[in-house]
Amino acid sequence: MKTLMLGNEAVARGLYEAGCCFVSSYPGTPSTEITECAAKYEELYAEWAPNEKVAMEAALGASLSGRRSFCGMKHVGLNVAADPLFTISYTGVNAGLLIGVADDAGMHSSQNEQDSRHYARAAKLPMLEPSDSAEALAFTKLAYDLSEKFDTAVLIKMCTRVSHSQSVVEPGERTLPEQKKYEKNPAKYIMMPANAKKRHPEVEARTEALREWAETAEINRIEPGKDPSFGIITSSTCYQYVKEAFGDTYPVLKLGMIWPMPEQKIRDFAATVEKLVVVEELDSFIEAHCRSLGLSVSGKELFTNIGELSQNLVAEKLGGTVQPGVSLEETIPARPPVMCAGCPHRSIFYVLKKLKLTVLGDIGCYTLGAVAPLGAIDTTICMGASVSGLHGFVKAGDEENAGRTVAVIGDSTFIHSGVTGLINIAYNESNATVIILDNSITGMTGHQQNPTTGYNLKGDPCTKIDLESLCHAVGIKRVRVVDPYDMDACQAVIREELAADEPSVIISRRPCALLKYVKHPGPICVDTEKCKGCKACMNIGCPAISMEDGKAKIDTTLCVGCGVCRQLCKFGALDGSKTL
Amino acid sequence: METKNIMIVGVGGQGTLLASKLLGRLLLGRGYDVKVSEVHGMSQRGGSVVTYVRWGDRVYSPIIDKGQADCILSFELLEAARYTEFLKPGGRIIVNSQQINPMPVVAGAAAYPEKLEEKLKALGIDVDALDALSLAEEAGSSRAVNLVLMGRLAKYFDFTKEEWQDAIGRSVPPKFLEMNKKAFELGWSA
């Protein structure tokens, strides 16, 4: 029966239908729902791993054990997992192994817009690129067949517009292949130099065999067009933009597998058109390869390598018509995302700003601590970089650095890759102060469990990593726990730990205000008699607080009664609270 | 049939996704090709959110580009103004007249534009404005704004009220069903 599915949901369906038995991933927009949806199938084991490298290695282990497996991540997660990726290419697989990676052109929720297709070429692995949900399902199933036929891991490359668009799919039944037997094979699985030297030629031969396969594969198809003045090579969501803009006007070579590329098919297609154009998002990948084949081709001189493309952009650059929209001459104020009312991160950032500290930040909701009026973060690079960066900053900086610099990192990010930085701090003895913002959930990506929450992906209770013990165990003697809602206490503890002459960790612990089990006291009332309109309460950037007629006003639909603003009011105007 | 395009815009947390999900399902049930596109992540934290719903004989792009929307359903007035250039000339805007100040306005760094409804009408846009917040409160909760607006949107489709109510019944928790149905009803008859 036809149904609407997100691209990510369709990948999960493909995993189910293909008899995948093991899924291990780390959440990251726009890839997260693949694993969340996979977890809904009881026949599948699915888990959140501490990070993408662990997830990929676990998936390889499952493959070696003889079961079809999967790991999913966002584009930057593939950097974390790049180490196993390049060598898994050499070992190949036992049962099929799929690696899902979702790019974020336009950086809707990312720190860069790297193009993951380069990894396919660099690691010498095949990469399939679906353009809608039906293809996401079909390509996932096909990828397992390729994986086992060619003895290779296969990359499934998604992007925001394919991952987060619902389109029509027709789900099928699950077929569970028999478990393959694991057989010892040192020459294939022990990648020490003598063995790896023999595997490398196999990898090159495999790429050639896959290229041969790609020449006749149905997923690389030529769609005839009426007008051969342009011939367009495209893939992924760009295929949809091309078809939207031009229908069947121009011939199109739609690539479903973008590595390795069907070189003869591309040459043959080029020979039938007057001008060859590549429409692809981000970097010149298909275009660069066409050039390496000696073909005359246009691409990036027409289409930007920055941000997303669209049907209008494609139409405009290739001489189509674009209907202008309705234009309103008005300055529209931006509506940036903000920390939620009651967010336990807010008060910590207020204190850090008040103390005029240098704050090395990390990846998560708390990156919003960089935004006005809090503006309390100095850097955001990648997962874990706050803790490891702090070590270098303190070690190499002048003496005062240690006393005025902290790292802030969330609970999930700390486990992902912050703890290794903390080990470096302990081992190499920098006088660093790390603040773990423990909101007991992976927040930014939409509330995923992690090793510190005590629950697994399926929501069942499981082993809970104790952060205090972990920090002690790696060699940090000073570990303090504070409630971020108590700003005086936070300030005192941060001061003490900055003054201490050894490394310390401060755990700022309070669960995310949006978690269902969190009970709130209810909205705060403004005593307009006492309010002097000093706007001190406005300095925390709470979306529930505004000024009206010179007095503070609280939006009772947003306010949860965290009481942080109350601590800022010298006039006791925010003392009242009531339950709606 | 030519592809039809509706943009659903609002503020993160207002429940815009439910409207696009229900509409997508109903349209699929009529045999159309349908695409519904949304952006997750950062935009949910009280930021500006946009969802695209497209249907027709064959829908290619998942997104709606400038000048292509037949209709914008806006959960908040400023957001209607933000996406106006996506509207086709002669298009319609269904808008909740509620104003939610974005952080730059709250912080006093920017001003909320005045008389937006009039300015939109002056551009020849068919503006259908309603106070969905008051109607939602009347139904029992300010959180039911999305159902009120869905009720209003439903007036422009030829699905029966029963079809909508049935779709709502399959999507909202039983605990809130009566309140949501009432909110839909208020939007429908407003």
Residues in chain B with CB shorter than 8 Å from the CB of A368 are: 45
Confidence band, pLDDT 50/70/90 cuts, at residue A317: very high
- Is A243's CB within 8 Å of B60's CB? yes
pLDDT of residue B40: 67
Between vectors from CA A110 to CA A104 and to CA A115, what angle results, nearest 5°?
A: 40
Stronger pLDDT, B68 or B167, i.e. the higher one: B68
- Can you tell me the ipTM of this complex? 0.95
Residues in chain B with CB shorter than 8 Å from the CB of A28 are: none
The verdict on B125 touching A (C-beta cutoff 8 Å) is yes
How near does any CA of chain A get to the CA of B180, in Å? 18
- Is B46's CB within 8 Å of A446's CB? no
pLDDT of residue A577: 56
- Is B86's CB within 8 Å of A332's CB? no
Chain B, window 61-80: residues with a beta carbon less than 8 angstroms from a chain A beta carbon: 61-63, 65-69, 78-79
For residue A3, give the chain B residue with the closest CA. Answer: B28
How near does any CA of chain B get to the CA of A264, in Å? 28
The residue of A332, A555, A556 whose CB has the most chain B CBs within 10 angstroms, and thus the best one to mutate to test that interface, is A332
The verdict on B152 touching A (C-beta cutoff 8 Å) is no
pLDDT of residue A33: 97
Confidence band, pLDDT 50/70/90 cuts, at residue A398: confident
For residue A538, give the chain B residue with the closest CA. Answer: B107
Confidence band, pLDDT 50/70/90 cuts, at residue B172: confident
Rounded to whole angstroms, the Cα distance separating B156 from A152 reads: 52
Query: What is the rounded average pLDDT of the residues A354-379?
Result: 95
Q: Which residues contact A181 (CB under 8 A, 6 or more apart)?
A: A66
The verdict on B33 touching A (C-beta cutoff 8 Å) is yes
How near does any CA of chain A get to the CA of B124, in Å? 9
| β-pair partners for A525 | A576
Lowest mean pLDDT among A186-200, A250-264, B148-162: B148-162
In this structure, are residues B59 and B33 in contact, taking their beta carbons and an 8 Å threshold?
Answer: yes
Query: What is the rounded average pLDDT of the residues A445-471?
Result: 96
Residues in chain A with CB shorter than 8 Å from the CB of B82 are: 332, 335
Nearest neighbour of B103 by CB, restricted to A32, A330, A541: A541
The verdict on B41 touching A (C-beta cutoff 8 Å) is yes
Mean pLDDT score across all residues of chain A: 96
Q: Which residue has the tokens 């902290």?
A: A406
Lowest mean pLDDT among A375-389, A421-435, B14-28: B14-28
- Is A243's CB within 8 Å of B107's CB? no
Element (H, E) at A469: helix A467-473
For residue B58, give the chain A residue with the closest CA. Answer: A244
The verdict on B157 touching A (C-beta cutoff 8 Å) is no
B44 pLDDT higher than 70:
no
A256 pLDDT higher than 80:
yes
Query: What is the rounded average pLDDT of the residues A498-521?
Result: 95
- String of DSSP letters for A100-141: EEEE-TT-SS-S----THHHHHHHT--EE--SSHHHHHHHHH
Tell the burial category of A370 from Cβ atoms under 10 Å away from its Cβ (0-12, 13-18, 19+): middle
**What residue type is assigned to position A33 of the chain?**
E
Confidence band, pLDDT 50/70/90 cuts, at residue A579: very low
Note the pLDDT tens digit of each residue in A52-110. 999 999 999 999 999 999 999 999 999 999 999 999 999 999 999 999 999 999 999 99
For residue B110, give the chain A residue with the closest CA. Answer: A333
Confidence band, pLDDT 50/70/90 cuts, at residue A149: very high
A507 pLDDT higher than 90:
yes
Size of interface A-B (CB pairs under 8 A): 190
- Is B102's CB within 8 Å of A310's CB? no
pLDDT of residue A580: 37
What are the tokens at B24? 């997508």
Residues in chain B with CB shorter than 8 Å from the CB of A332 are: 78, 81-82, 113
pLDDT of residue A503: 97
The verdict on B126 touching A (C-beta cutoff 8 Å) is no
A372 pLDDT higher than 90:
no
What pTM was computed for the model?
Answer: 0.96
What is the gyration radius of the CA atoms in chain B, in angstroms? 16
- Is A164's CB within 8 Å of B61's CB? no
Note the pLDDT tens digit of each residue in A546-568. 998 999 999 888 899 999 999 99
Q: Which residues contact A52 (CB under 8 A, 6 or more apart)?
A: A25, A26, A28, A71, A73, A77, A78, A80, A81
What are the tokens at A120? 């396919």
Q: How does strand A551-554 pair with strand A433-438?
A: unpaired
- Residue A527 CA, distance from chain mean position: 44
B41 pLDDT higher than 70:
no
Reference A144, options A304, A331, A273, A16; nearest CA is: A16
- Is B109's CB within 8 Å of A368's CB? no
pLDDT of residue A399: 79
Residues in chain B with CB shorter than 8 Å from the CB of A109 are: 39-43
pLDDT of residue B35: 98
Reference A559, options A535, A518, A525; nearest CA is: A525
| DSSP helix/strand/coil, A523 | coil
What are the tokens at A496? 């003490």
The residue of B3, B42, B119 whose CB has the most chain A CBs within 10 angstroms, and thus the best one to mutate to test that interface, is B42
Note the pLDDT tens digit of each residue in B129-147. 999 999 999 999 988 999 9
Note the pLDDT tens digit of each residue in A528-548. 999 999 999 999 999 999 998
Name the DSSP class of A195: H
Residues in chain A with CB shorter than 8 Å from the CB of B12 are: 337
B43 pLDDT higher than 60:
no
| Cis, bond preceding A260 (omega within 30 deg of 0) | yes
A491 pLDDT higher than 60:
yes
Rounded to whole angstroms, the Cα distance separating A53 from A50 reads: 9
Query: What is the rounded average pLDDT of the residues A386-409?
Result: 94
